[in-house]
């Protein structure tokens, strides 16, 4: 049996032409060399190969690949902890950013979780305005800060949540919201 994949249409081009669609499928071990290459281009402190292997080995996690024209161009790593889904890593190769790929990965994640009451959390650099804006469009809301979270420069992380309450505009079901 083959793993189901989803086709997600991306934003139309400036000339009004239909944009190509991206295939979202499960990330697999043979994808890891491409993942590591993207990781090194995108992040100042990239994950190690061992970190990706560990996440792929977890039965409760969801690891996704975005494939554009046969090429892996992005990925998402999400782990489940009890009743909360923790989005650990979302990356899109630099040449393919701002085309809706991260949104397509997140949309596929929500479909696979298939629970209208699901709660998702993540950390994002305070300086990463593009990612914060993306997450806010996806219904995530800032609910706290992790001081000096990033080892490369000691930058704080913004803790964001996507829950039924944040989708309705409040932090009512977010555990221990704090100052942002």
List b or e across 110-142, with b for residues whose CB sees 16 or more CB atoms inside 10 angstroms. Answer: beeeeeeebbbbbbbbbeeeebbebbeebbbbb
Residue 79 corresponds to which tokens in the numbers above?
């782990």
Question: Contact, 65 vs 31, CB < 8 A?
Answer: yes
The set of catalytic residues is 123, 135
């Amino acid at each position: 049996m083959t793993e189901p994949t989803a086709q997600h249409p991306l934003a139309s081009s400036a000339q009004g032409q239909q944009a190509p669609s991206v295939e979202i499928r499960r990330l697999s071990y043979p994808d890891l060399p491409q993942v590591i290459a993207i990781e090194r281009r995108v992040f100042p402190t990239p994950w190690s190969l061992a970190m990706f292997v560990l996440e792929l080995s977890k039965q409760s996690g969801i690891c996704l690949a975005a494939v554009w024209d046969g090429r892996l161009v992005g990925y998402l790593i999400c782990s489940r902890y009890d009743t909360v889904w923790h989005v650990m890593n979302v990356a899109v190769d630099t040449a393919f950013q701002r085309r809706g790929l991260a949104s397509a990965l997140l949309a596929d994640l929500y479909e696979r979780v298939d629970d209208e009451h699901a709660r998702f959390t993540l950390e994002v650099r305070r300086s990463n305005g593009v990612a914060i804006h993306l997450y806010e469009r996806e219904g995530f809301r800032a609910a706290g800060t992790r001081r000096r979270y990033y080892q490369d420069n000691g930058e704080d992380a913004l803790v964001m949540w996507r829950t039924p309450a944040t989708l309705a505009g409040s932090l009512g079901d977010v555990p221990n919201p704090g100052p942002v």
